[in-house]
Amino acid sequence: MEFDKQKVDKLEQEIEVEFQNEELLKRAITHKSYSNENRERSLKNNERLEFLGDAILDLVISEYIFAEYPDHPEGELAKIRSVVVSAPVLAEKSKEINLGNYLLLGKGEEITGGRKRNSILADAFEALVGSIYLDQGLEVVREFILELLTADIMTVEAGEHIQDYKTLLQELIQQSSNSRPDYLVVKEEGPDHNKEFTVQVVFEDEVLGTGIGSSKKEAQQQAAKNAIKKIQ
């Protein structure tokens, strides 16, 4: 997939930002797999923009929740921010603006579904934030971020956001492996109307975490949450 003027215009319409330097936008959607396969073109990938965008997201979200929730202690503010800028949430924002449709990916990533992979989508969203900041400045990128994430902030603050720990754990594991963890029910207790399940999440013969819940799904999420704590 090449990135021509028509695609530039369409992406700008999706995100409602008109770039002065369209090379920044092109770099934001260039995955390293694409630049590696096209070394002769000396393309820059989006990793540096991702680094910048990550910091800008932290700043904008921190500033917003600091002002909006003056009675919340530091720990609660940190928890809200950590969920709002997590990979699953940012990947969802990428899907809302159809960012995956515009990514420049290498053949391997294309074949294995990289356009829909949360880690790639989240990284691309951060890179897009970085590119908007460099091209348009802080006020424009703040407006872009809050337009997409204010509803999520409110949901998280109200305690109504359900973090998908299984997806987050998978994203962490995929940083170093293509394998997936297994979730094993090791105990099932209680009558049918009041079951309690114990689940272990296992990766490469190692138990990463154990969770207990009233359903297998709830126990799996708890196991994944505990595994993430262990890994991090």
Residue 118 has pLDDT above 90, yes or no: no
| Cα gap 230→232, rounded to integer Å | 6
Q: Of residues 50, 109, 126, 157, which has the active-site annotation?
A: 126
Catalytic residue list contains 218: no
**Average model confidence (pLDDT) across the chain:** 89
**Is there a common fold for 5-157 and 165-231?**
no
CATH 3.30.565.60 assigned to 5-157: no
Instruction: Locate the domains of the chain by residue range.
Output: 5-157, 165-231
Confidence of residue 163 (pLDDT cuts 50, 70, 90): low
The span from the CA of 42 to the CA of 27, in Å, is: 12
Is 143 noted as a catalytic residue in this protein? no
Residue 83, pLDDT score: 87
Model confidence pTM above 0.75? no
pLDDT on residue 169:
86
- Chosen CATH of 165-231 out of 2.60.120.560, 3.90.1150.10, 3.30.9.10, 3.30.160.20: 3.30.160.20
pLDDT at 49 over 90: yes
At residue 111, the pLDDT reads 86
Cα angle: 168, vertex 120, 225; to 5 degrees? 5
Average the pLDDT over 45-49 and give the result: 95
Q: pLDDT by residue (tens digit) across 125-154?
A: 999 999 999 999 999 999 999 999 999 999
pLDDT of 22 strictly over 70: yes
DSSP conformation letters of 98-120: TGGGG-B--HHHHHTTGGG-HHH
